[in-house]
């Protein structure tokens, strides 16, 4: 082994242990062995979030004064809020306001979109709503917005370009919208993490479900808020018309990304064994699919 090779191996090993240390140290199952998952229903997205975050100890339990926050909604498509393909803009605004009220030094919002970035940011209503609430909306459609990271624990995607804002943030809040998905079957919290990675072609080429699970190892969200107010039940993830939408008026909140997705499946009535990335996430020790291991709080708002 020459020096260069040694240094390379050392670097990869360090990166790998860093990621592992982070996963174990962050205490995935808080409290007496159970992970709390909050399900709220029957209100508008803003009030669903207000009730739900209360049950998780309020925004102050996640954001300490002076910390920088990333809010990562789903802004993938050039569609209007009513078409339900993106996260509700008022929800992104409310999370931004609460994070700033909790003392956050700043809130950054971005998503690596599928359609033209400018059009998605604008027509989803998210850029305007987030900016009005005080967030900084940054682009994610240029390779310069990303930085390369490696991850030894990943199964397929051992190297990825990850959005700079995500790497810089102290606190990361994942705010997906719940949808039926032609390829991945369901898109919610875990699938939303494709939007922090630059190279989607690699992910599609190399076993998409595995790459979805791998992507979360690069930076696990501290809080997941699944917007299931409008749920796209057919023709997802883009949708063809508002006939694909059912107003379920649900929201699921948890620190555990796998648990949140597991419960989201019940809202769109789909079997967990057909969504392979959930088990892959569990194998990565990102969370649990076992409802018995969850402390589920149900709230009628």
Partner 1 sequence: MIRSGRGLRRIVAAIVLASALAGFLWRLPVPPQAGTAVLRTIATGLRAPLAVAALVVLLTLLFGRVYCAALCPLGVLQDAIACPARKKLGPRRNAKRLRYSLLALTAGAIAAGWHLPAQWLEPLTVFGKLAAGLLLPFYAGVARATGLPPPAGNGAPTASGLAVGAAALLALAVLALWRRRFFCTALCPVGTILGLLARHGVMRLRLNPSDCVRCGKCVAVCPTGCIDLAGATLDNERCVRCMNCLAVCPRDAVVWYAAGRRGAAPATPRHGDADPSRRRFLIGLGGTALVSAALARWLKPGGVAPLAAPPAAIYPPGAGSAVRFAAACTGCLLCVAHCPGRVLRPGNSAAPIVHLDYTRGMCEFNCRTCSTRCPTGAIRPIGLAAKQRCRIGMAVFHPSRCIAVVEAVHCGACAEHCPTGALRMVQHEGHPCPVPELDEALCIGCGNCSYPCPSRPERAMTVRPVPIQTLADDPVERLKRPALPPPEADEEWLI
39 forms part of the interface with partner 1 (CB under 8 A): yes
Say how far apart CA 91 and CA 247 lie, in whole Å.
15
176 forms part of the interface with partner 1 (CB under 8 A): no
41 forms part of the interface with partner 1 (CB under 8 A): yes
Question: Which residue in the set 53, 109, 154, 208 belongs to the binding site for partner 1 (CB under 8 A)?
Answer: 208
- Judged by CB under 8 A, how many residues of this single chain contact partner 1? 45
172, 110 contact by CB (below 8 A): no
Say how far apart CA 216 and CA 222 lie, in whole Å.
11
CA within 13 Å, CB half, 14: 7
272 forms part of the interface with partner 1 (CB under 8 A): no
Left, alpha or beta for 244 (phi > 0: left; psi -120 to 50: alpha)? alpha
228, 178 contact by CB (below 8 A): yes
Say how far apart CA 27 and CA 22 lie, in whole Å.
9
Spell out a b/e string for 10-34, using b for 16 or more CB atoms within 10 Å of the CB, else e: eeeeebbeebeeebeeeebbeeeeb
Return the bridge partners of 28, or none: none
12 forms part of the interface with partner 1 (CB under 8 A): no
Region near partner 1 per CB under 8 A, out of 55-63, 98-106, 115-123, 124-132:
115-123
**Token couple for 62:** 């996640």
Q: Binding string, 121-160, against partner 1, x = CB under 8 A?
A: --x-------------------------------------
Say how far apart CA 228 and CA 268 lie, in whole Å.
9
283 forms part of the interface with partner 1 (CB under 8 A): no
Question: Which residue in the set 143, 201, 271, 292 belongs to the binding site for partner 1 (CB under 8 A)?
Answer: 201
Of 243 and 283, which has the nearer Cβ to partner 1?
243
Residues 63-102 that bind partner 1 (CB under 8 A): 78-79
Region near partner 1 per CB under 8 A, out of 64-72, 100-108, 177-185, 280-288:
177-185
Footprint of partner 1 (CB under 8 A): 39, 41-42, 78-79, 114-116, 118-119, 123, 181-184, 200-202, 204-209, 233-235, 237-238, 240-241, 243, 246-250, 252, 263, 266-267, 269, 276, 296, 298
């Amino acid at each position: 082994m020459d020096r260069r090779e040694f240094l390379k191996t050392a670097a990869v090993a360090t990166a790998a242990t860093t990621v592992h240390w982070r996963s174990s140290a962050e205490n995935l199952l808080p409290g007496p062995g159970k992970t709390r998952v909050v399900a709220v229903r029957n209100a508008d997205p803003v009030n669903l979030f207000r009730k739900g975050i209360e049950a998780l100890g309020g925004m102050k339990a996640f954001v300490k004064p002076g910390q920088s926050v990333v809010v990562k909604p789903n802004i993938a498509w050039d569609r209007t809020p009513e078409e339900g393909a993106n996260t509700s803009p008022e929800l992104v605004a409310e999370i931004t306001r609460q994070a700033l009220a909790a003392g956050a030094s700043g809130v950054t919002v971005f998503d690596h979109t599928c359609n033209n970035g400018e059009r998605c940011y604008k027509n989803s209503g998210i850029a305007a709503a987030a900016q009005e609430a005080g967030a900084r909306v940054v682009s994610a459609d240029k390779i310069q917005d990303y930085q390369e990271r490696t991850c030894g624990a990943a199964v397929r995607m051992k190297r990825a370009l990850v959005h700079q804002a995500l790497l810089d943030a102290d606190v990361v809040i994942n705010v997906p919208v719940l949808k039926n998905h032609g390829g991945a079957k369901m898109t919610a919290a875990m699938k939303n993490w494709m939007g922090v990675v630059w190279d989607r072609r690699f992910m599609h080429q190399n076993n998409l479900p595995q790459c979805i699970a791998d992507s979360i190892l690069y930076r696990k969200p501290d809080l997941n808020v699944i917007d299931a107010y409008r749920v796209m039940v057919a023709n997802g993830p883009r949708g063809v018309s508002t006939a694909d939408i059912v107003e379920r008026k649900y929201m699921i909140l948890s620190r555990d990304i796998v648990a949140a997705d597991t419960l989201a499946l019940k809202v769109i009535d789909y079997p967990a064994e057909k969504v392979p990335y959930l088990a892959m996430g569990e194998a990565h020790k990102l969370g649990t699919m076992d409802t018995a291991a969850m402390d589920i709080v149900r709230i009628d708002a």
